[in-house]
Amino acid sequence: MGLSVSTVSKALNDSHEISHGTKVKVLALSKKLKYRPNTLAKNLKQNRTNTIGVIIPDLLNYYFVKALNGIQESAEKQGYSIITCITNESLENEVRYSEMLTNGSVDGLIVALSIETQKNKHFNHFKQLIKNEFPLVLFDRVSDEINCSQIISNDENGGAQAAEHLYQAGCRCPLVVVVNSDLEVIKRREEGFTSAWHQLSGGHVVMRLEVGDLDESEDEIDNFLKNHAQIDGAFAVDERLGIKTLKCAIDVGRTVPSNFKIIATSDGELSKEYSPSLSVIDLRENKIGSSAAEEVVRQIKSKFLKPKTTIIAPKLLVRSSS
Amino acid sequence: MGLSVSTVSKALNDSHEISHGTKVKVLALSKKLKYRPNTLAKNLKQNRTNTIGVIIPDLLNYYFVKALNGIQESAEKQGYSIITCITNESLENEVRYSEMLTNGSVDGLIVALSIETQKNKHFNHFKQLIKNEFPLVLFDRVSDEINCSQIISNDENGGAQAAEHLYQAGCRCPLVVVVNSDLEVIKRREEGFTSAWHQLSGGHVVMRLEVGDLDESEDEIDNFLKNHAQIDGAFAVDERLGIKTLKCAIDVGRTVPSNFKIIATSDGELSKEYSPSLSVIDLRENKIGSSAAEEVVRQIKSKFLKPKTTIIAPKLLVRSSS
DNA sequence: CTGTTAGCGCATTCAC
DNA sequence: GTGAATGCGCTAACAG
């Protein structure tokens, strides 16, 4: 129809410098020809992609899936897509993915560190990004050594809420059941519980059981409960571990909740559907995810924001196990 | 160091027409300068992205997460990243995302249709892709009307396996518990169960209960079981529904598994961790996902492949509920 | 209001 | 073995 590419481009983008008539014609023709602007070229030219990269350790972990869901919802609301990579808790994958994504594919990055990364304290790949002022937000699995915005839940407070709840429910000799104690979040939950308990009980030390493999933990828990008849409650640092503990408690003859009260960290289908249903500290992962997405978009839109840490307060959900 | 861009480009890509010495020098310098090739420009030039788009209805559905995990693992193995979009069961989102992704962002698309799409039978967005020979693979939520490769589980066979198992375990009057019967997969599971049962029992018709909202279903199931004392087993078309049914059966005084045997479709944490653990038909979602990823890569690598349907056989997992 | 042109960052002919 | 030039598809500065 004899119009230059730039006119067409402007018309398609509804530029003010194009006459209404032309716009209508161009739009009509583009419909008919099913014109599809190439996103890649557009992104390359504009130096932005409207995409957020998300790097998480594990998709089969309900915690991360809920956070991912929150990220996705919030990102979509703000006009961003997400591209997701799974590290399988491997540092090498984490490095590879973060380099891959930040080479132009995404405008910002949301990350939960892998176990290996947290163990080895190997953060160069992220420090480099920060030096280049690339928008980066960490959530849940974070580190003080990385100077960027972080979204975390108040795990200590969650542990403390659990302690307070158990105490008020009449529990006097609780067991803390732990797995993956390498993780900062786990340490904080445990620390929150034990120090709150110490205070509540006037100096009582709480018992502690750390299991190795979650899947193989039932015997360990069974035995521990059998050998320590005085235990009348439990705080598990993880939902599945909480279910295991609940199951074991019933197996070895404890009566839940009257003589044995139990609560775990993190809410999920298991806790809700189990019978008896399990009381939990809800970490509000969806909120954590959406906050992370909001923060990374803020950083994308205006550079040179100084890092801030957002703390999401956990919520006590009392069910039938306490 | 006085080399042209093209020489550098070739050296970085390990081209045979560059001398070893030059390659070494270029590589060394690129390390030092922390050179990062821009993925966007590369993709634009090469007209491929090494990325697969995945469109699924819901992230909080464990089924899709397991499939997504399979897709991700297989894609990674084959050198592809994935970009994930969630439709929330909305046709409009599905259309929007599939257009967005196929405008150059991805080399191929893996999709599970939304409920709305399947209800309205609105498939133009995908038919268009096929016309353009864009690599497209559907899984689980598929449609015969879309002429592309599909990966499905043998849901009829799963239902039949469930029927056979219940029958052999001594169940004689089973209840089929259904939700979301709009979905093809649900229909097939139910059909597989009922026709197999018909055959096994010499013409017996099975009872059926369809619940509306899964979360509000417990009262319905309770009442139904109370009013039909002859029911001595159940097949639930969904895992959570299976757990609900199991819970209700115990609530209303049935003894599981001796006097009431129950099995559900799809395996997950709930079934495994519940007490008593729930027998299930494992749909092998991970395998479905990895097959989808393999198929879409096959199509990306050699165009003009004719569509093929891959059927993944489900596996009976007998646990303590039957 | 419309058209011309340059360039985003890279890979790839084709000369040399 | 190396380099100059072209273009992937698009937007935007500038000219008309």
Residue nearest to nucleotide C8 (CA to C1'): A45
- pLDDT at B251 (0 to 100): 95
- The pLDDT of residue A48 is above 90: yes
Which one has a higher pLDDT value, A82 or B177? B177
Q: Could you check: is the Cβ of residue A7 within 7 Å of any atom of nucleic acid strand C?
A: yes
- The pLDDT of residue B100 is above 60: yes
% pLDDT > 90, chain A: 83
In DSSP terms, A51 is beta-bridged to A81
Q: What is the number of other CB atoms lying within 10 angstroms of the CB of residue B103? A: 15
Evaluated on CA atoms A72, A76, A78, A84, the torsion sign reads: positive
pLDDT 10s digits, A83-97: 888 999 999 999 999
Q: Could you check: is the Cβ of residue B226 within 7 Å of any atom of nucleic acid strand C?
A: no
Q: Could you check: is the Cβ of residue A4 within 7 Å of any atom of nucleic acid strand C?
A: yes
Q: Is residue A227 within 8 Å of A198, Cβ to Cβ?
A: no
- The pLDDT of residue B239 is above 90: yes
Q: Is residue B297 within 8 Å of B311, Cβ to Cβ?
A: no
Calpha distance A170→A158 (Å, rounded): 19
pLDDT 10s digits, B208-221: 999 999 999 999 99
Interface residues of chain B, partner chain A, Cβ below 8 Å: 34, 36-41, 43-44, 49, 51, 59-60, 62, 65-66, 68-69, 72, 81-86, 99-100, 102-105, 128, 240, 243-244, 247, 250, 269-270, 273-275
- The pLDDT of residue B73 is above 80: yes
Evaluated on CA atoms B279, B285, B287, B291, the torsion sign reads: positive
Instruction: Identify the residue whose tokens are 């139910």.
Output: B190
Cβ distance of A270 and B270 shorter than 8 Å: yes
- pLDDT at A223 (0 to 100): 97
Comparing alpha-carbon positions, the chain A residue that sits nearest to B247 is: A275
Calpha distance B273→A272 (Å, rounded): 12
DSSP-derived 3-state class of residue A318:
coil
- The pLDDT of residue B1 is above 70: no
Q: Is residue B167 within 8 Å of B142, Cβ to Cβ?
A: no
User: Confidence class of residue B21 from pLDDT cuts 50, 70 and 90?
Assistant: confident
Calpha distance B215→B191 (Å, rounded): 24
- The pLDDT of residue B2 is above 80: no
Tell me the CA–C1' distance in angstroms for A44 and C10.
11
Using a CB-CB distance cutoff of 8 angstroms, which residues of chain B are in contact with residue A40?
A: 40, 43-44, 49, 104-105
Mean pLDDT, residues A215-240: 96
Q: Which residue in A266, A290, A260, A295 sits closest to A280, CA to CA?
A: A266
User: Confidence class of residue A2 from pLDDT cuts 50, 70 and 90?
Assistant: low
User: Confidence class of residue A16 from pLDDT cuts 50, 70 and 90?
Assistant: confident
User: Confidence class of residue A1 from pLDDT cuts 50, 70 and 90?
Assistant: low
- The pLDDT of residue B51 is above 60: yes
User: Confidence class of residue B304 from pLDDT cuts 50, 70 and 90?
Assistant: confident
- pLDDT at A133 (0 to 100): 92
Cβ distance of A69 and B59 shorter than 8 Å: yes
Calpha distance A277→A7 (Å, rounded): 64
Alpha-carbon dihedral A137, A142, A145, A147, rounded to 10 degrees: 20
- The pLDDT of residue A4 is above 90: no
Cβ distance of B128 and A34 shorter than 8 Å: yes
Cβ distance of A104 and B39 shorter than 8 Å: yes
pLDDT 10s digits, B183-230: 889 999 999 999 999 999 999 889 999 999 999 999 999 999 999 999
Mean pLDDT, residues B36-52: 93
Mean pLDDT, residues A223-230: 97
Mean pLDDT, residues A110-129: 95
- pLDDT at A183 (0 to 100): 87
- pLDDT at A129 (0 to 100): 95
